Amino acid sequence: MSKRESVVDSHTRSLLVLRLIAEERIRQEAKWGVQHRSDVEWLPILIEEMGEVGKAITEGAIQSNSLYVTDPDQVADLCKELIDMAAVAVAHVEDILWRLDLARERSDERV
């Protein structure tokens, strides 16, 4: 495989992962609605998601007797948890951007 092919494959995988994260964000918003929280309130949500990732890694690695998760079902679970965690991080960034836009609008109103 040439270096060019590996770069293309990498970009294709990245686009797939980003699409899966976007789809999870849509599911989260359908379930919870748009979330506006303080950064302090986002932290335990992100930590909980990280805990789910840690659990999937630990259980998968123990079952595989390896440093890697190799069982196909557990690999799928790990990927799901990573996507969930990434989607929560995206939601937090979306909320930060919303707050910045809101502050900018309020500042413009005072002028």
Tens-level pLDDT at each residue, the chain (111 residues): 566 667 769 899 999 999 999 999 999 999 999 999 999 999 999 999 999 999 999 999 999 999 999 999 999 999 999 999 999 999 999 999 999 999 998 888 765
Put simply, whether the predicted model's pTM sits higher than 0.75 gets the answer: yes
pLDDT at 108: 80
Which two tokens mark 17? 């992962």
Q: How far apart are CA 97 and CA 89, in angstroms?
A: 13
What are the residue ranges spanned by the domains of the chain?
Answer: 3-110
